[in-house]
């Protein structure tokens, strides 16, 4: 499972970085979204990957980390998702404003050599 998660994060990051370096604003925003998925998965994996373990205390199960998964990274991911979602939304508005004002979807607003 570690390998699958690691590969997923790697592929998402690589695609995200590649798209981020493209000259079109839409590609940049898609790249940023992919990067945010990769980062969220990465945070999640930092609490160690576990199968069939609860993040909250259940009656009848001994209360130690052997029997539970770490709930804190999951809480962090939740916060990070909300924030990156909001920021991506904001960036989308900027993208449309830039498109409207400059008449092109180039990141520098250039019409010529795009």
Partner 1 sequence: MIGWLQSAVPHLIVAPILLPLLTAALMLLLGERRRWKALLNVASSVLGLLIAIVLLRWVDSDAVPAVIGVYVPSNWEVPFGIVLVVDRLSALMLVLSGIVGLCSALFSIARWDRAGVHFHPLLQIQLMGLNGAFLTGDLFNLFVFFEVLLAASYGLLLHGSGRARVQAGLHYIAINLLASFLFLIGVSMLYGVTGTLNMADLAQKIPQVAAADRGLLHAAAGVLAIAFLTKAAMWPLNFWLAPAYVAASAPVAALFAIMTKVGVYTVLRLWTLLFSAQAGDSALFGAEVLTYGGLATLAFGALGMLASQQLGRLASFSAIVSAGTLLAAVGFGQAKLTAGALFYLLSSTLAISALFLLIELIDRSRQTQAVLLADEADELPLPPELLQPAHDANLDDEQHALIGKAIPGAVSFLGLSFIACALLIAGLPPLSGFLAKFAMLSALLNPLGLGIASAAERITVAGWTLLGLIIGSGLLSMIALSRSGVRYLWAPQDRPVPHLRVAECVPIVVLLGACVMLTVRADPVMRYAQATADALHDPARYIEAVMSAKPVPSRAAVIGRGG
Residue 21 in contact with partner 1, rule: CB under 8 A: no
Among 23, 83, 85, 114, interactor with partner 1 by CB under 8 A: 83
State phi, psi for 87 to the nearest 5 degrees.
-70, -35
Residue 81 in contact with partner 1, rule: CB under 8 A: no
Among 10, 97, 112, 113, interactor with partner 1 by CB under 8 A: 97
Q: What is the chain written as a DSSP string?
A: -HHHHHHHHHHHHHHHHHHHTSSBHHHHHHHHHHHHHHHHHHHHHTT---SS-BSS--TTS-SSTTTB--HHHHHHHHHHHHHHHHHHHHHHHHHHHHHHHHSS-BTT--SS--
Residue 91 in contact with partner 1, rule: CB under 8 A: yes
Among 7, 11, 14, 46, interactor with partner 1 by CB under 8 A: 46
Binding site residues, partner 1, CB under 8 A = 20, 25, 28, 32, 35-36, 39, 42-43, 46-48, 72-73, 76, 79-80, 83-84, 86-88, 90-91, 94-95, 97-98, 101-102, 107-109
């Amino acid at each position: 499972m570690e390998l699958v998660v690691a590969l997923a994060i790697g592929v998402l990051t690589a695609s995200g970085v590649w798209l981020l370096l493209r000259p079109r604003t839409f590609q940049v925003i898609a790249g940023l979204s992919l990067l945010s998925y990769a980062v969220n998965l990465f945070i999640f994996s930092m609490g160690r990957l576990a199968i069939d373990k609860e993040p909250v205390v259940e009656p009848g199960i001994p209360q130690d980390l052997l029997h539970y998964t770490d709930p804190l990274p999951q809480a962090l991911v939740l916060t990070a998702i909300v924030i990156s979602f909001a920021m991506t939304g904001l960036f989308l508005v900027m993208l449309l404003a830039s498109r409207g004002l400059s008449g092109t979807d180039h990141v520098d607003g250039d019409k010529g050599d795009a």
